[in-house]
Amino acid sequence: MIDSRDNLVQAIPGRWQQHATRAFFFIGGFGTASWAPLVPLLKARLGIDNDMLGMLLLCIGVGSLITMPITGGAVARFGCRRVLSVAAVVYAGMLLSLSRVDSFMLAVPALLVFGAAMGVVDVTANIHAVIVEKASGRQLMSGMHALWSVGGFIGAGIFGIWMKLGFTVFMATVCAAGIMMVLMAFFSRHLLIDSGEKEESSIFAVPRGIVVFIAVIAMIAFLIEGAIMDWSGVFITTAHALDISLAGTGFAVFSAAMLTMRLTGDWLVQKFGSKPIIFGGCVLSVIGFLFVILAPWQLLLYAGFFLIGIGSANIVPVFFSLLGKQTIMPLNMAVSAVSTLGYMGILMGPAIIGFIASRTSLYISFGLLAGLVVLQMGIISYVYKKIL
């Protein structure tokens, strides 16, 4: 039986529902960052080579791709609160188990479940964000996504601090999982009971109509992010012959620019509207790629990564917001479908860049990324005409 307080929460999503959504975006980023330092330790514990580690890590992506298409249906059936709370508990629990697993046969299912929980948290948090943003009448999505990055930065930093203080890996992971569980316990009571959408007969979320085009926009955005994440270091050290110690600096600049823009993105979209921010961002991204490819000086190279980060930052949040305005698909199923294709982009991006670079050059690969941004602008223009 639902009490009057729950009915009020469900009917009028307010400030606490916004805070709860931000908390679960933070949990998603914090959990991912807490997993990163466990990777080399898992490799050493299992005694495997890089090829086997790569295959093992693929399990995370496979797990996410299994659950993302069905999360929308799960939310329709069980509600945001139940799905997100259970997924967060599993996410934290599997993180803890991965700090101790010492068998390849156990690592495979553990990573599959970890990736599955990660995917559910991601999709459901976005569904919840669209609902509370729509109810608020204000732009909130960029700030929500910024909290994922904040969780990542804090998670990466604090894990290193715990290790320097003399914590064992298990103790540090217990602390990380504990923070995730405390946040979940406190904020889950403020989550909406359901998705506000009726359940569809389909189990899998397959995009249709205008949602297909939004999904392609998200896939290109995530593909570019994945390519910058995995290939910026190689590009800096080979194409521009910088020292290997600087390999991570391009992605660091890109990430800092994205976080900065997402923290201010809601205000900018509210003040100027989403069209100039999105189209202006795409233009900045193209210029950024030209700087990265053609830069004769190191400063201009980093300016290029900064412009790509600034330009890319608000595309995904804005178009998740627009899913609340389309009527072709129920919101929960639309977010699930777009998230799935977006995640496929971040998995495909590095592989596509590597394939093209091996047959041509990294310069051409990065030039094609700029071309994808131009294609993305055309699809964005079509979506705006159809929805707004």
User: Do 175 and 215 lie in a common domain?
Assistant: no
CATH number of the domain to which 304 belongs: 1.20.1250.20
User: Do 85 and 171 lie in a common domain?
Assistant: yes
Q: What is the pLDDT of residue 125?
A: 94
Has residue 202 been placed in a domain?
Answer: no
Comparison of pLDDT for 341 and 239, the residue scoring more: 341
Has residue 279 been placed in a domain?
Answer: yes
- Whether residue 4 has pLDDT greater than 50: no
Range of the domain at 361: 210-387
Q: Where does a domain end: 190, 221, 237?
A: 190
Has residue 196 been placed in a domain?
Answer: no
- Whether residue 278 has pLDDT greater than 80: yes
User: Do 52 and 102 lie in a common domain?
Assistant: yes
Using DSSP's 3-state secondary structure scheme, residue 199 falls into coil
pLDDT in tens, 129-165: 999 998 888 889 999 999 998 988 888 788 888 888 8
Half-sphere exposure of 87 (CA within 13 A, CB side): 30
User: Do 183 and 154 lie in a common domain?
Assistant: yes
Has residue 204 been placed in a domain?
Answer: no
User: Do 315 and 231 lie in a common domain?
Assistant: yes
Phi, psi of 317 (to 5 degrees): -60, -45
Cα–Cα distance, 290 to 363 (Å, whole number): 10
User: Do 134 and 267 lie in a common domain?
Assistant: no
- Whether residue 5 has pLDDT greater than 50: no
Residue range 11-23: average pLDDT? 83
Looking at the structure of the chain, the number of domains it has is 2
User: Do 123 and 179 lie in a common domain?
Assistant: yes
Q: What is the pLDDT of residue 1?
A: 33
Q: How many helices (H) and strands (E) does the chain have?
A: 15, 0
Has residue 175 been placed in a domain?
Answer: yes
Percent of the chain past pLDDT 90, that is, above it, reads 52
Q: What is the pLDDT of residue 147?
A: 93
